[in-house]
Structure formats: C-alpha cells, structure tokens
Amino acid sequence: MKLFSSVYDVPNVKALVDEALQLKQNPYSYQHLGKNKTMALVFLNPSLRTRMSTQKAALNLGMNVMVLNMDKEGWALELRDNVIMNGNSVEHIREAAAVMGQYADIIGVRSFPGLKIREEDYNEMIFNKFVQFCGVPVVSLESATRHPLQSLADLVTIEELKTRERPKVVLTWAPHVKSLPQAVPNSFAEWMCKADVDFVITHPKGYELCTDFTNGATIINNQDEALADADFIYVKNWSAYEPYGKIFPGNGDWMLTNEKLKGTNNAKVMHCLPVRRDLELSSEILDGASSIVVHEAANRVWAAQAVLKRMLEKLSD
C-alpha cells in the first residue's frame, strides 16, 4: 500500500480489519519492519486522537516519528500555482512537501476543508498536492472529504463488539453550533457500504450527504424509525453539502438520549470524538453503559498500525 486516503485504497477491507484485531493481540510482533524508518505526521489542523494513536502505532512498529504542527510551527504555505508570492505565504507546497519526503519514509497529513468553495474541498487540493510532491507513501490523517483511519477503527470496533452476524448500523446526524466538515460521515458511509452490515443514515432534511459516499445506504429522515432495532448508532454532526457548509436553525431534538435507545437492539453508541456534551450527545449516554466512544478511540491505534504495517511491507519489497 502506497496511499491510504479512502476505502478504495484497500483491496480487501475484511483482511485489513482482521489484521488490526490481530495487531491488538500482538502489538510488538513487527518491530523489525519499522527499524530505521521515519514517519512524519504533518498537521494543518488540531488533533488529539489521530496524532497520538498514529504516533503510538508507528512506535509499536519500531519507527521513529516526527510531528510538525504546520499551522503553528511551519511557514505559511502557498498552494496555488502560477502566482507571484508577494502576499502572506512564505513557502510553496511544491518545495515543502518535497523536502518532507527527503526526511520521512511515510508521511501522514491532516488538512481540513475550508467549507467555502465545494469544488476546491471535494477535489482534495491540499492532500493531493502533498501526495503529488512528497514522493513517499502518504496516509490521510483526515482530509477535506474523508477520515479513513477513523472509519477503519470504527469498522474494527463494530466487528469486535457485534452480537449478530450482520448488525444494523445507523449513522445519525446530531446538533451542533458550528459548521462542521462532512469528512467523518462521508467516510463512515463509504466504509459501511463496503462492510457486511445493514446500513441506515438518518438526518433532518437539508443535510443530505454527497451521493458518491452513500451509494448502498438506506436514508430515512425519521430518526425514531431509523433507530429501530439498531445494534450500533454512530452519532455525528455535519454541515450541509448543498448549500455547501451551511447549518440550519432548530433540530436540537436530534440529540441522542436514553429514551431514544429504547427501541434499539441494546444499541452501542459511537462517536469519533471530540464531542460536545449535551449538545451533540447527552451526558447520560456518554456516562452510561451503551457508550463505546473510548473503546472506539483506543482502536484507532490498531487501525493505524495495520495501515502502516502494509506500507512498511511495501517499502521493503
């Protein structure tokens, strides 16, 4: 594997999930793979889980790790071609990415969307330029439209905790006060549509996701109806795809509560975190027995480790 940016970079999703679960049992069995290899984690936006879990995964594989908070510590990047750089940007992404590729064997990049110009975000301009110019394998640490390491960890968690062969998984929109990216729900939908699950998406009208990501999902606007008999409920806010990046007033009653879990199959509640308590998800759920959000975050290590292992194996081919 030379690129991990979406589910389409994975030839066999089930095998990768199984590998992550095996690594969870034996975290240090492949330390030889990463000996004298360096991972660079480049953040253009904040992170807790992705930063720490990917760093831990790389260390478990014997790699050295460098972290660059590009937004705070790096030079201001120019992304456009054919411009005279007489404004605020100091360094072009062409040189910056190429230089990083000289220092690292694998690069991870986090770059959020601007949520202003849809075409720019959905063309993955920043992430793709890193891939184009760095010359080494690249892992997405969340891009404008996808968060594949999160989605892999989510699928690992579902596989690990499911109580019936083909569980019902529901992605439900949740309230928020800010305009948030569609990357997590897009990505979760894309991975669930490839998994052996019954997958339902529920959201208020107006929050339809791009259909490129939801092909194969059942979409129901009535949340109670969607949640019926669910085994897993994935809670997440996102802004509108059309009009792009907008949020609409109201819908506070979409926050998941214990009352809403009554018609489910003893559903386990997931969230990628960070989560705003009692806005996006109720404290009674987060503090109760149905929440598996911390378990899910812990599985980020094994998801990242499975991906990095595949990349290191490719490097030593």
Binding site for ligand CP (CB under 6 A): 47-50, 142, 150, 272-274
Q: Which residue is nearest to ligand CP (CB)?
A: 50
Residue 188 Cβ vs ligand CP, minimum distance, rounded to whole Å: 11
* Cα 114 to Cα 91: distance, rounded to the nearest angstrom: 20
Residue 236 Cβ vs ligand CP, minimum distance, rounded to whole Å: 10
Residue 276 Cβ vs ligand CP, minimum distance, rounded to whole Å: 13
Residue 108 Cβ vs ligand CP, minimum distance, rounded to whole Å: 11
* Cα 111 to Cα 127: distance, rounded to the nearest angstrom: 7
Residue 14 Cβ vs ligand CP, minimum distance, rounded to whole Å: 23
**Residues 6+ positions from 236 with CB-CB distance below 8 Å:** 171, 172, 173, 174, 184, 185, 188, 271, 272
Residue 274 or 288: the one with the smaller Cβ distance to ligand CP is: 274
Residue 147 or 168: the one with the smaller Cβ distance to ligand CP is: 147
Residue 78 or 188: the one with the smaller Cβ distance to ligand CP is: 188
Closest Cα to residue 210, out of 236, 244, 178, 234?
244
Residue 6 or 150: the one with the smaller Cβ distance to ligand CP is: 150
Residue 263 or 274: the one with the smaller Cβ distance to ligand CP is: 274
Residue 142 Cβ vs ligand CP, minimum distance, rounded to whole Å: 6
Residue 51 or 94: the one with the smaller Cβ distance to ligand CP is: 51
Query: Which ranges constitute the DSSP H helices of 89-175?
Result: 93-103, 118-122, 125-134, 148-161
Which three-class secondary structure state does DSSP give residue 244?
coil
* Beta carbons of 137 and 68 less than 8 angstroms apart: no
The sign of the dihedral angle between the CA atoms of 67, 72, 78, 84 is: negative
